[in-house]
Amino acid sequence: MEKLVVVGNGMAGTACVEQILKYAEKFDITIFGDETHVNYNRILLSAVLAGEKSSDEIVLNSLEWYQQNEIHLRLGVRITDVDTIARTVTGDDGSVTPYDKLLLATGSSPLIPPIDGVKKQGVYVFRNLDDTRALLDRARTGARAVVIGGGLLGLEAARGLQVQGCEVTVVHLMDTLMERQIDFVGGGYLKAKMECLGVQVLLSRNTTAITGDAHAEGVRFKDGTELPADFVVIAAGIRPNVELARKAGLKVNRGIVVNDFLETSHPDIYAVGECVEHKGICYGLVAPLLEQGKILAASLTGNRAQGYEGTVPAAKLKVMGVEVFSAGDFSDGTPGNDVVRFEDAALGTYKKLIVRDNRLAGVILIGETSDSHRYMDWLRSKTDLREKRRNLLFPDPIADAGLDVAELPHGKTVCGCHGVTKGTIVQAIRDRSLTTLAQLKECTRASTGCGSCTELCLHLLKAVAPQFQEEEKKALCKCIPLSEDQLREVVRSQRLRSVQQVLDIYGNGTGCAVCKPALSYMMDMVWCGRHDEDRSARFINDRVHANIQNDGTFSVVPRIRGGVTSPEELRRIADVAEKYKVRMVKITGSQRIDLLGVQKSDLPAIWADLGMPSGQAYTKGVRMVKTCVGTDFCRFGVQDAIATGVELERRFENLYTPHKLKMGVVGCPRNCAEATVKDIGLVGQEGSWQVVVGGAAGKKVRKGDLLITVESAEEALQAAALFFQYYRENANYLERTYDFVERLGIERVRRETIYAPLAVQQGLRQRLRKSKANSQDAWLEGDLPRHPAQFVQIQPLENVQ
Amino acid sequence: MTGIEKRWVRVTSCENIPLREGKAVEIVGRRIAIFNLGDSFLAVDNRCLHRGGPLSDGVVSGATVVCPLHAWAFNLTNGEVVNHPESQACLVTFPVRVEQGIIWVEIPSEEPGSVSEPVSCERDRPVRWVLRKPPASANVRPSLP
Domain A123-236: assigned CATH number: 3.50.50.60
- Is pTM beyond 0.80? Reply is no
Chain B residue numbers with beta carbons less than 8 Å from the beta carbon of A788 are: 15-16
Question: From residue A621, how far is each of A2, A521, A614, B71 by CA, in Å?
Answer: 67, 10, 11, 21
Do residues A289 and A273 touch, judged by C-beta distance below 8 A?
yes
Residue pLDDT, tens place only, A38-92: 999 888 898 899 887 888 888 888 888 999 899 999 999 999 999 999 999 999 9
Most A CBs within 10 Å, among B28, B59, B104, to test the A interface: B59
Q: What is the dihedral of CA B59, B61, B67, B69, to 10 degrees?
A: -50
In the Cβ-directed half-sphere of A599, how many Cα atoms lie within 13 Å?
A: 9
Pick the range with the lowest mean pLDDT from A306-315, A732-741, A790-799.
A306-315
Which of the four CATH numbers 3.90.245.10, 3.40.190.10, 3.20.20.70, 3.30.413.10 does domain A620-782 have? 3.30.413.10
Question: What mean pLDDT do residues A354-375 have?
Answer: 88
Beta-sheet pairing, A584-587 with A413-415: unpaired
pLDDT attached to residue A117: 93
User: What percent of chain A clears pLDDT 70, i.e. is strictly above it?
Assistant: 97
Going by pLDDT thresholds of 50, 70 and 90, the confidence category of residue A558 is very high
- Angle, in degrees to the nearest 10, between helices A499-506 and A484-493: 110
Contact A698/B at CB under 8 A: no
Do residues A345 and A412 touch, judged by C-beta distance below 8 A?
no
Of A49, A52, A12, A801, nearest to A451 by C-alpha is A52
Going by pLDDT thresholds of 50, 70 and 90, the confidence category of residue B84 is confident
Q: Are B59 and A793 within 8 A, CB to CB?
A: no
pLDDT attached to residue A451: 66
Q: Element (H or E) spanning A442, and its range?
A: helix A437-444
Question: What mean pLDDT do residues A96-117 have?
Answer: 94
Going by pLDDT thresholds of 50, 70 and 90, the confidence category of residue B111 is low
Q: Element (H or E) spanning A237, and its range?
A: none
Please spell the DSSP secondary structure of A691-714, one letter per residue. Answer: EEES-EESSSEEPPEEEEEESSHH
Query: Residue A115 CB: number of other CB atoms within 10 A?
Result: 18
φ, ψ dihedrals at A517, nearest 5°: -65, -35
Do residues A11 and A38 touch, judged by C-beta distance below 8 A?
no
Is the pLDDT score of A127 beyond 50? yes
Residue pLDDT, tens place only, A186-230: 999 999 989 888 899 999 999 999 999 999 999 999 999 999 999
Is the pLDDT score of B121 beyond 70? no
pLDDT attached to residue B3: 60
Do residues B108 and B4 touch, judged by C-beta distance below 8 A?
yes
pLDDT attached to residue A696: 93
**Alpha-carbon distance B84 to nearest alpha carbon in chain A (angstroms):** 16
Chain A residue numbers with beta carbons less than 8 Å from the beta carbon of B64 are: 510, 512
Q: Which residues contact A582 (CB under 8 A, 6 or more apart)?
A: A556, A576, A595, A596, A597, A598
pLDDT attached to residue A314: 84
Residue pLDDT, tens place only, B86-96: 888 899 999 99
Is the pLDDT score of B144 beyond 60? no
Task: Spell out the alpha helix ranges (H) of A580-712.
Answer: 603-610, 630-633, 641-652
pLDDT attached to residue B141: 43
How does the average pLDDT of chain A come out, rounded?
90
Q: Are A794 and B23 within 8 A, CB to CB?
A: yes
pLDDT attached to residue A109: 93
CA distance A626 to A336: 76
Do residues B45 and B91 touch, judged by C-beta distance below 8 A?
yes
pLDDT attached to residue A401: 52
The sign one gets for the Cα dihedral A374, A376, A378, A380 is negative
Q: Where are the domains of chain B?
A: 6-131
Q: Element (H or E) spanning A414, and its range?
A: strand A413-415
CA distance B59 to B73: 9
Do residues B78 and B93 touch, judged by C-beta distance below 8 A?
yes
HEC sequence for B90-116: ECCEECEEEECCEEEEEEECCCCCCCE
Enumerate the CATH 3.50.50.60 domain ranges in chain A, comma separated: 2-109+240-300, 123-236
Pick the range with the lowest mean pLDDT from A133-137, A518-522, B134-138.
B134-138
Question: What mean pLDDT do residues A543-554 have?
Answer: 96
Of B42, B114, B104, nearest to B74 by C-alpha is B42
Do residues B12 and B102 touch, judged by C-beta distance below 8 A?
yes
Question: What mean pLDDT do residues A139-154 have?
Answer: 92
Of A736, A746, A565, nearest to A659 by C-alpha is A736
Contact A781/B at CB under 8 A: no
CA distance A669 to A1: 69
**Alpha-carbon distance B123 to nearest alpha carbon in chain A (angstroms):** 23
Q: Which residues contact A142 (CB under 8 A, 6 or more apart)?
A: A165, A166, A167
pLDDT attached to residue A410: 83
Going by pLDDT thresholds of 50, 70 and 90, the confidence category of residue B120 is very low
Most A CBs within 10 Å, among B21, B110, B133, to test the A interface: B21
Is the pLDDT score of A609 beyond 70? yes
Is the pLDDT score of A607 beyond 90? yes
CA distance A640 to A283: 70
Q: Which residues contact A225 (CB under 8 A, 6 or more apart)?
A: none
Strand order from edge to edge, sheet including B73-75: B59-61, B64-66, B73-75
Most B CBs within 10 Å, among A548, A557, A616, A797, to test the B interface: A797
Residue type for A135, please?
Answer: L
pLDDT attached to residue A478: 82
DSSP 8-state symbol, A285: S
> Could you say which of A536, A552, A796 has the minimum Cβ distance to residue B19?
A536
Contact B26/A at CB under 8 A: yes
Of A259, A306, A297, nearest to A103 by C-alpha is A297
pLDDT attached to residue B142: 42
Going by pLDDT thresholds of 50, 70 and 90, the confidence category of residue B119 is very low
Enumerate the CATH 3.30.413.10 domain ranges in chain A, comma separated: 620-782
How does the average pLDDT of chain B come out, rounded?
80
CA distance A601 to A552: 12
Long-range contacts, A449-454 (Cβ 8 Å, 24+): A449/A41, A449/A43, A449/A44, A449/A415, A449/A416, A449/A417, A449/A418, A450/A43, A450/A44, A450/A316, A450/A318, A450/A416, A450/A417, A452/A316, A452/A372, A452/A373, A452/A416, A453/A373, A453/A414, A453/A415, A453/A416
Question: What mean pLDDT do residues A671-677 have?
Answer: 96
Q: What is the dihedral of CA A464, A373, A451, A15, to 10 degrees?
A: 90
Going by pLDDT thresholds of 50, 70 and 90, the confidence category of residue A699 is confident
Chain A residue numbers with beta carbons less than 8 Å from the beta carbon of B77 are: none
pLDDT attached to residue A334: 77
Question: What mean pLDDT do residues A116-122 have?
Answer: 93
Query: Residue B34 CB: number of other CB atoms within 10 A?
Result: 26
Is the pLDDT score of B125 beyond 60? no
Q: Coil, strand, or helix at residue A183? A: coil
pLDDT attached to residue A404: 66
User: Domain A2-109+240-300 is of which CATH architecture?
Assistant: 3-Layer(bba) Sandwich (3.50)
Do residues A668 and A684 touch, judged by C-beta distance below 8 A?
yes
CA distance A96 to A87: 10
Question: From residue A357, how far is each of A337, A343, A384, A392 by CA, in Å?
Answer: 8, 24, 9, 15
CATH homologous superfamily for the domain B6-131: Rieske [2Fe-2S] iron-sulphur domain (2.102.10.10)
Q: Coil, strand, or helix at residue A113? A: coil
Is the pLDDT score of A614 beyond 90? yes
Is the pLDDT score of A332 beyond 90? no
The sign one gets for the Cα dihedral A332, A335, A339, A345 is positive
Residue pLDDT, tens place only, A374-429: 888 888 888 888 888 888 887 655 455 566 677 778 888 788 767 788 888 998 88
Residue pLDDT, tens place only, B50-70: 999 999 999 999 999 999 999
Chain A residue numbers with beta carbons less than 8 Å from the beta carbon of B54 are: 548, 552
Question: What mean pLDDT do residues A92-106 have?
Answer: 94
Chain B, window 70-109: residues with a beta carbon less than 8 angstroms from a chain A beta carbon: 71, 73, 102, 107, 109
> A457 or A582: which carries more pLDDT confidence?
A582
pLDDT attached to residue B127: 38
Q: Angle A622-A627-A630 (CA atoms, 0-180°, nearest 5)?
A: 150
Q: Which residues contact A593 (CB under 8 A, 6 or more apart)?
A: A557, A558, A560, A565, A573, A585, A586, A587
Do residues A709 and A686 touch, judged by C-beta distance below 8 A?
no
User: Domain A539-619 is of which CATH architecture?
Assistant: Alpha-Beta Complex (3.90)
Do residues A282 and A97 touch, judged by C-beta distance below 8 A?
no
Do residues A630 and A667 touch, judged by C-beta distance below 8 A?
yes
Is the pLDDT score of B131 beyond 60? no
End-to-end Cα distance, chain B: 44
Question: If 0-12 CB within 10 Å is exposed, 13-18 middle and 19+ buried, where does residue A578 land?
Answer: exposed
Is the pLDDT score of A545 beyond 90? yes
CA distance A131 to A461: 38
Chain A, window 471-530: residues with a beta carbon less than 8 angstroms from a chain B beta carbon: 479, 509-513, 516-517
pLDDT attached to residue B130: 42
Do residues A476 and A511 touch, judged by C-beta distance below 8 A?
no
Contact A788/B at CB under 8 A: yes
Question: What mean pLDDT do residues A456-484 have?
Answer: 78
In the Cβ-directed half-sphere of A399, how many Cα atoms lie within 13 Å?
A: 16
